Structure 1
């Protein structure tokens, strides 16, 4: 049998190399699409409709952290759920709920806000809490924004070159807003397999809560910012919210100066530590009852589970546990869910370290 000629061997190598390059390009393209669209590769999160109509939206832990910040900042400013829906739809369109460091011209962050158009410094815009705060500041100036079609309200803030683009995100944003403002109970879950990219533990949870919600409610509730183990108090985040009267495309989320969180930590099973957030009429944000505030904090914790190594969240007789298939909210067996719903008491967030 004749041996293959050198030309045939070279051709074969080129074919194999070409095939390998094609596979790598396809993989790179897939990963890019997953990143930009919020695909569910890796640990996933899901929100479902509280109406039982089967509507749902799946997203990544990174998107969940940013969405929870946007919602917390909105309610902290006393903005209605509709405003949170508009903000989330805008961020979904502008950045896919990713805090990106690039965009059209000098656009940055969750809302693709432009420093040159008065939205803030690049550092400010890349702070999700600030970005959300300034988005809401602009939205609040739009007359009758709650009665406008979502895409119209968003466009009056953003002044995008694609004014109809926000509408397609309204269904997903509506589901997220209902869960992350606490109106739809036990509707947001995450797989919650923790990563090791951030500082974790009770202090990190408290710092993140104050970053998104602020200290006011903690003070009203008389909660201590510090844990029973003698750790130092969590730092106060640099609050920044700011207004601007120019526009450009935008996105990201910003700090809020109301509402907040928490408080004490103790030991719990498997070496975990628990942050307890008292929930009462006095700790609820403007326009939100105590039970709704509790579910907002509980869903916030689940959305941040991977980033903050949160293992368990319990509230109103229901409990979410990381790592369980689909991570559903289950009855915690403590006196029955019915009684707990009437007297919710506190949200408890247990960390793994």
Structure 2
């Protein structure tokens, strides 16, 4: 009986400790940064940010939805800073009270159903819609604009993510060249036709684009260099969860093997972004 009591006491202490850490993080405004997984993405665009694969994919989707909705770059900065603070750029299944998703939006406050809010694209669209209704948000500090939407108990907490969000925005909206580089595991989530189909669907949902796909990958038309880098960086950002092996734009190429952008001896991919997925095993 004593052994069971000791074990039970230990379990209670562990649970209480975990709860205490979570409360402390919320009280500090989420300042504690947890370690990343080994599959990381480095973003360099007048600054440097390191994220894991899930965070990077979510950031890329948030930026793409903003661009698709014709929101200015500063709106993307505000959205990314908000998601950084609320969820660590993770699509959380729960949170404080009934909060859900990237922006920790609450069904009870009219943001949508839990299922809807767990869709990163839906959540991002709802955030941008709410931000657009804030009079003068463009002239506000990042944290003030975010707070007008979120009504957080920690109104200053968003500002500490402004610099990271500006770096991510410069890369993801296409202002930087070869700025998103991700390392990818050797065992991709999907391969071949399934990977190419998932990429095509993701492009349609995030960008409203129709890429030309085949069994090996897809090609995305790019009317100018800025759009080309938007799509190239999005593809690399989603490489881990969509089985992307190689991305090429202009005379630069990212490969899963190296995890970096390098010049290629192949003919330049002019006016298009070319993505290759891992072949069927």
The interval holding the TM-score normalised by the smaller chain is: 0.7 to 0.9
Partner of 2:29: none
Are the equivalent residues in 2 in contact too, given 1:194–1:309 (CA < 8 A)?
no
Instruction: Say whether residues 1:333 and 2:265 are aligned partners.
Output: yes
Equivalent residue runs for 1:251-290 within 5 Å: 260-265=209-214, 273-280=216-223, 290=224
Matches within 5 A, 1:110-189: 110-189=102-181
CA contact (8 A) 1:195 1:307 kept: no
Which structure has more relative contact order (CA 8 Å, sep 6+)? It is: 1
Q: Which residue of 1 aligns with 2:239?
A: 305
SS at match of 1:57: strand
Moved more, 198-207 or 307-316: 198-207
Q: Please tell me whether residue 205 in structure 1 is matched to residue 137 in structure 2.
A: no
Aligned Cα RMSD in Å? 2.5
Greater helix percent: which structure?
Answer: 2
Distance 2:186 2:237 in 1: 11
CA contact (8 A) 1:151 1:166 kept: yes
Count of equivalent residues: 255
Task: Show structure 2 runs of 5+ residues with no match.
Answer: 1-5, 26-31
1:69-108 equivalences in 2 (<5 Å): 69-108=61-100
Q: Which residue of 2 aligns with 1:319?
A: 253
Deviation at 1:185, TM superposition (A): 1.6
1:158-197 CA-partner distances (Å, limit 9, x unpaired): 1100000000001111111111111112111001225554
1:351 maps to which residue? Answer: 277
| TM-score of the superposed pair, with normalisation by structure 2 | 0.84
Cα distance in 1 for partners of 2:270, 2:79 equals 29
State how far apart, in whole Å, the 2-side matches of 1:171 and 1:310 are.
29
CA spacing shift, 1:162–1:206, aligned 2, 3 Å:
same
Task: Tell me, yes or no, if the aligned pair for 1:291 and 1:344 is still in contact at 8 Å.
Answer: no
TM-score, normalised relative to structure 1: 0.67
Rg (Cα) greater in structure: 1
Q: Assess if the C-alpha contact under 8 Å between 2:42 and 2:182 holds in 1.
A: yes
**What is the CA–CA distance in structure 1 between the aligned matches of 2:257 and 2:118, rounded to whole Å?**
31
Shift in CA distance, 116/56, structure 1 to aligned 2, threshold 3 Å: same
Gaps of 5+ in 1: 1-13, 215-259, 267-272, 281-289
